Every structure is written in structure tokens, then in C-alpha cells.
Structure 1
Amino acid sequence: MTIRETVLHYLAEVVTDYASFRLPDDVTDATKLDAFWLDSVVYTAFISRLEEALGYIPPSILEGPLFPETIGDLVGIYEGAVKE
């Protein structure tokens, strides 16, 4: 599974687990994460699941107040951390 596929898989899981709707089929890299109502608790659960699946949390997420705005931003952060 690619990083993008992994992000979408676990985003779909947390949306299903914590919200009253399912992840739409038309999600793109430009889709804003706040469209899924990820409060701090849900976002933490999401990042924890990504850590379990990918084996890491990118330093830019751990070391600062970074909250990516879009799916593409989040995927880019994870892909960038792999290249470092």
C-alpha cells in the first residue's frame, strides 16, 4: 500500500469510528481535512493509527503545532519524512 492509500484507509476508519458519516469516494489531495471534523482527539487517533501502520510520525508533526490543511499536505509530510 502506498503512503497515500494508507492515509486514506486510516482516515476512512477514523471517520467511520468517530463521525456519523462515511468518507466520500471523491476525496482528492485538495480535500480539506477539516471537512471530516477531526477534533484533537480524533486527529490523535488518526495519527496513532498511521504510526502503527507506517512505523513513524514525521518530525514536523511531532515537534510543532503543524496541522496539515489538506489530504495532499498530510501525504506530502509523510512522503517527505521518508526521504529525509
Structure 2
Amino acid sequence: PLLTLAALIVLGAISFFGPAASASVENASATRTVVVVKHGETLWDIAQAVDPQGDTRDTVVRIMELNSLTSTSVDAGQRLEIPQTQR
């Protein structure tokens, strides 16, 4: 939990100073949605784009869990399953 919190703090700082980007969302099937990471995009950016009304920290953690990520690092072209919003 401490490592995740530290990673989220660093990720938040990086995304605050980094370039703004938006997630490319595609509907992979009726039951899941996938985003393709764009160049310069962070997990924080993606979380904000897919659930702008939610707590971004919680969305980052949910994306990490859905994709079995062990860090918040993502690469351009990487496909990530994203959680469905409950709104």
C-alpha cells in the first residue's frame, strides 16, 4: 500500500507537469472497454479521461488491478482494459 501511494504521488506530479493527453477509447466487446496509450500519456491521464467525476487515485488503482500492472508505467501503444464507471 505504501509503494502504491508513493507511485500515485509521483505519477500525479509527473502528470501535472507533463503534456495533456486524452485516452483513445475503443469498445473491445460488450463487456469491456480498452484504451490504447498515446505517446506522452500517463496512467493518471487515462484515469482522469475515463472517469472525470471519480477519484482519479481510485481509478488508477482499479486500472492497475484490471491489467495486473505492478507499476504505474505505461508505454505508447499499450492496450489497457479500463473499469466501467458507475455513473
* TM-score normalised by the chain length of structure 1: 0.32
Flag the structure with higher strand content.
Answer: 2
Flag the structure with higher helix content.
Answer: 1
Q: Of the two structures, which has the highest relative contact order with CA contacts closer than 8 Å and spacing of 6 or more?
A: 1
* TM-score normalised by the chain length of structure 2: 0.31
